Amino acid sequence: MRRLRPPATVRVRLTALYGGLFLAATTAVLVTVNLLLKRVLDRKVMMYAISVKNTPAQPCDPPPDPALLVQRRLNELPEGSPARTAATLRSSVLDYQWGVTLIAVAVLACVAVFAGWWLAGRVLRPLHRITATARRLSLANLDERIALAGPRDELKELADTFDAMLERLERAVESQRRFVANASHELRTPLAIQRAAIQIGLADTSPEQVERMRAELLEANRRTERLIDGLLTLARGERGLDAREPVRLDEIAEEAVAASRPEAERAGVMIRPVIEPLTVAGDAVLLTQLTTNLLHNAIRYNHEGGVVDVGVSPERGLTVRNSGPAVPAASVPELFEPFRRLRTRTGRSDGAGLGLSIVAAIAHAHDASVVAVPNPGGGLDVAVRLPALLPALVE
């Protein structure tokens, strides 16, 4: 069976890289110095041999290798002559120099490995800290951060990015926990009503009691159905769009206004539409839900004799402005979170607090922006800006 080699760590690879480059550079420098020394010695010994023999150099091209010329000149000299002694000294110096070079290269190789290992460990120390923090993380300690100190380099940027991701993850988990708790609470209420009606109300089987329990059970069932539909729409909006198609937003707004007029008449609220032609890219069903939620929210949280202004234009997109109780500016962002209701806006308690959160999710799925500002006299002014399609693209 073939044994698998353990993978080389980043520290080993960096050590090999640093050590290899350092050793290659120092070896190249030492070899270059030795070759230059050999060339100088060859020239000096040759000139000395020529001067000792008193034979001037011929005006011809020198041989390509000065060592051959030195050896030829020395062969013509007698044994024991000063030139022969100089040649022997040259050979000894070169041999000694190359021996010292080999020893130096071996020592430098050890130094390069040690220095490369130490330097790689120092460079990778922040990564080890990031890895240790990631291993310790769980849903119970998402508040922990790396908080890497030091110069603003790539590793510091990586650690800060990881901390920012942990912060977003902590907010998402906390939002999910709050969402699950609120959804459980909202579902528990109609279920408790149904159980009480079944256990207590049906103990008396008189026709009047049965009819009253029937109405309570139907109302609890409708509340549960609305909540489940709202949760499904919210999940679909947060998931995003699978496909986009041209949608006439003005026609959707007109249909939503017509469908909302009976509710507005019962609440004593007047709807004033100002709708211009506008075509956007998106999902018609979700955009209908978005418009309907904005209208129902504007009617529900209004007062008798109030107004709801509905506008569609290429400049502002879809706008819904209503009168009603005053809304604190600091509390406006909370309205777009699931199951959030302000006490000043709870004119009716049959909602689940998902209307504006569904609007925000659908707008996000369409790459649109939602801006809500309180009106000076009370109520909200909500604008959903969707990118309009050019007429040529629509056709």
Over residues 67-99, the pLDDT tens digits come to: 555 555 555 555 556 666 666 777 777 778 888
Buried b (16+ CB within 10 A) or exposed e, 132-165: ebeeeeeeeebeeebebeeeeeebeeebeebbee
In terms of phi and psi (left: phi > 0; alpha: psi -120 to 50; beta: otherwise), the region of 339 is left
Mean pLDDT of the chain: 76
pLDDT at position 357 is 80
DSSP lists the bridge partners of residue 381 as 321, 373
The dotted CATH code for 154-237 is 1.10.287.130
pLDDT at position 384 is 92
Please report which helix (H) or strand (E) contains residue 320, including its range.
strand 317-322
Residue type at 152 in one-letter notation: R
- Range 244-394: architecture per CATH: 2-Layer Sandwich (3.30)
- DSSP summary character for residue 316: T
Q: Work out the average pLDDT over 370-392.
A: 81
Greater confidence, 251 or 74?
A: 251
Residue type at 336 in one-letter notation: F
Which pair of structure tokens corresponds to residue 392? Answer: 């040529």
Q: Where are the domains of the chain?
A: 10-136, 154-237, 244-394
pLDDT at position 274 is 93
Split at pLDDT 50, 70, 90, the class of 66 is low
DSSP lists the bridge partners of residue 373 as 381
Distance from C-alpha of 369 to C-alpha of 393, rounded to nearest angstrom: 22
Least confident of 157-171, 276-290, 304-318, 368-382: 157-171
Q: Helices 66-75 & 82-136, crossing angle to 10 degrees?
A: 150
Which pair of structure tokens corresponds to residue 329? Answer: 């500016």
Residue labelled with tokens 């937003």: 249
Please report which helix (H) or strand (E) contains residue 387, including its range.
none
Least confident of 236-250, 322-336, 355-369: 236-250
Distance from C-alpha of 146 to C-alpha of 200, rounded to nearest angstrom: 57
Over residues 2-44, the pLDDT tens digits come to: 444 444 577 788 888 888 888 888 888 888 888 888 777 777 7
pLDDT at position 1 is 42
Q: Work out the average pLDDT over 239-247.
A: 78
Least confident of 55-64, 125-134, 354-363: 55-64
